[in-house]
Structure 1
Amino acid sequence: MGATSNSVKVDVKTTPRVRQNMVYLLVKQLRPHQWTKNLLVFAALLFSLHKVSPDVIGKSVLAFLLFCFVSGCVYILNDFVDIKNDRNHPEKQFRPMASGALPPALALAFGAFLLLGSLFSAYYFDRLFALVLLVYFVLNVAYSMKLKHVVILDVMIISAGFVLRAIGGSLMIQTPFTPWFLLCTMLLALFLAISKRRHELILLQQDKGTHRKVLDSYSSELLNQLNTIVTTMTIISYSLFTFTSGRTIHLMWTIPLVIFGIFRYLYLITVAGQGGSPEKVLLQDKPILITVFLYVVMVAGIIYVFEFK
């Protein structure tokens, strides 16, 4: 009897810990460290400082959060689909579902609830933004289910996701986006996606096809050539954007920062062996962090000085 009583007491005391652990795992499953990708929704706000107001800032923050939640739902679905492959991956085997710590059924139920809540919230504030958010989710589901196995198209789908983020941020604050800006976004995202494939190819080596089938269709030579083409196009496109965007031509002073940022990332993926996780590079590499900070300050300062009236 005494043993039973002690057993009951232990269960009661550990229950809150179990619940807290599950909450932690659910949040971890949303991959908050990758939410830096969604900071792109603030680009429209950065280039529209002359229209800034508390309401506009609030809408931009909301757009960022909704993209974070929906992208988190995508990660849940993607990890569920890839759970077997992730268990054989040197890094991804520690993810909540792959490690067995988080029940897949609970993760999927949580993701469905979060997705519906996010879409309804987006629809309440702006229907077009809600449509972009829905297209973003559907596109990523198609990627997780099939398109990630199609060579070349896989990195283009990733790039399209970034373009949708930029469009969504513009729609939420009702700021027009220029074709040059969207082209720069697409090319820069392509550069990051190709660099990630290159990192995976080198990291996994002989086991590359086991983890990601599409890697069997890539080679280091091909990915290096694609990166050369894309980086060249990115620098040219951004340079043209600064001159033809309809904004002040003084944005051209930010071109050296963009070139340095791209060259620094190329150095990290080719010499330092990084690039598998762009968000980690963005948060951990000091030269890139400083470059991004200076870029934001320069753009804000140029627009404030030459466009505020």
Structure 2
Amino acid sequence: MFITAFRVKLRRAKMPVKSRVHAYAKLLRFDSWQAWLFNFLLGCILFELPTIGRFAVVLVAFLLAASAVFILNQYFDYENDRANILKKDLPIASGEVAPRTALMLFFVFTSVSLSSAFLIDISVFLLFLAFMLLGIGYSTPPISFKSRAGWDVIVCGIGAGVLPFLIGIQTVPLLTSQFEYYWVIRRYQDVFFTALPIFLIQCAGQIYQVVGDYKADALAEINTFAVKYGKKNALRFATISLFITITLPIIYELFNLSLIPFLEWYLVAFACLVPCLVYFVKRTQDASEKNFKKLRDFARRAGTGILLVLIIYVFIVRLVLKGI
């Protein structure tokens, strides 16, 4: 063990500056939480457009908070990640970044993020605080939600989906405690109906994640949803979550549950989603790690494209409504 640690330190010392910069950039894991960013951006533009100054501060704070969550997760997981074919090249696991340095970055990012949120608005600060607490609880023993089957999926649905969306909403801000006004109550209702499909799709995404990590998690005795209930049952649950997500906008429109034009936005996203769903159905027949790595990479690329199309569409609609 001592020899291995010495080799890692020696390798780190010999790294050129460009490689070190790349390692620290990779430590932030942007490719893993870009969907969180899109949930945040959707919240920012869903009802009204925020001021540029307020948006810029909250955006930077959110980027730092999301990065901090993933840094902490890698810090606690780096020994197990070395045995995971999908994660063995992560900066801490591979020895490119020292665990102590990563932990220091976590504290710096968290402090700057929460301080910035506090200066903006108390409601934004409380949402950021909840976001960070869930992120810390997900990785940190003895709570470690990721090792508690069911909780790993729920916490991801809230932390990666609902909270970034709500932070985006409060960038305007829109949610107040003036419940004597009907429009305030209706706004909360619209936010809930939007947050529900976001929660479900993030839950499905987390299930695909833990199914891909099944072998490594089972060896490390991490009791994820897939480890406890099996790959097939986990995939069935993910499929049900995605099916509900797809049907919710139609239900909202039929029963006039929301003022948001869900069906119009849904059709824009669904046109891009059909070929992706066909690909997913074919790929999920094979639950091997290698196949799920391909599936995960495809999901990130396709998901990013679909969300980008949707956000651009909603943004254009907002500009038109403002008469710009």
Aligned 8 A contact 1:73 1:111 in 2: yes
3-state SS in 2 of match to 1:39: helix
Aligned 8 A contact 1:119 1:130 in 2: yes
Counting only pairs closer than 5 Å after superposition, residues 1-309 of structure 1 correspond to structure 2 as 21-36=19-34, 37-48=36-47, 51-52=48-49, 56-145=51-140, 146-161=144-159, 162-176=161-175, 178-201=191-214, 204=215, 207-211=216-220, 212-214=222-224, 215-241=226-252, 243-247=256-260, 249=261, 251-260=262-271, 263-272=274-283, 276=293, 280-281=297-298, 284-285=301-302, 291-305=306-320, 308=323
Aligned 8 A contact 1:269 1:275 in 2: no
Residues 181-228 of structure 1: CA deviation (Å, up to 9, x unaligned)? 111211121121122223333xx3xx5401444242132321232123
Structure label with greater radius of gyration: 1
3-state SS in 2 of match to 1:92: coil
3-state SS in 1 of match to 2:44: helix
Aligned 8 A contact 2:38 2:307 in 1: no
Counterparts in 2 of 1:114 and 1:301: CA distance versus 1, 3 Å: closer
Structure 1 segments unaligned to the other structure (5+ residues): 1-14
Give the deviation of 1:45 after TM superposition.
Answer: 2.9
Give the deviation of 1:111 after TM superposition.
Answer: 1.6
Aligned 8 A contact 1:181 1:241 in 2: no
3-state SS in 2 of match to 1:93: coil
RMSD: 3.0
Aligned 8 A contact 1:86 1:93 in 2: yes
* Cα distance in structure 1, aligned partners of 2:115 and 2:305: 38
3-state SS in 1 of match to 2:128: helix
3-state SS in 1 of match to 2:43: helix
Residues 118-158 of structure 1: CA deviation (Å, up to 9, x unaligned)? 11111111121111111111111111122111112111110
* Cα distance in structure 2, aligned partners of 1:132 and 1:278: 32
Give the deviation of 1:290 after TM superposition.
Answer: 5.3
* Cα distance in structure 1, aligned partners of 2:295 and 2:56: 22
* Cα distance in structure 2, aligned partners of 1:279 and 1:45: 27
Structure 2 segments unaligned to the other structure (5+ residues): 1-12, 176-187, 285-290
Residues 215-258 of structure 1: CA deviation (Å, up to 9, x unaligned)? 421323212321232122212323344543224x4x42232344
Aligned 8 A contact 1:41 1:60 in 2: no
Name the structure 2 match of 1:9. none
Between stretches 237-246 and 74-83, larger displacement belongs to 237-246
Residues 13-50 of structure 1: CA deviation (Å, up to 9, x unaligned)? xx9975554444223211122341222111123323xx
Tell me the TM-score normalised to structure 1 length.
0.79
AA matched with 1:220: K
3-state SS in 2 of match to 1:172: coil
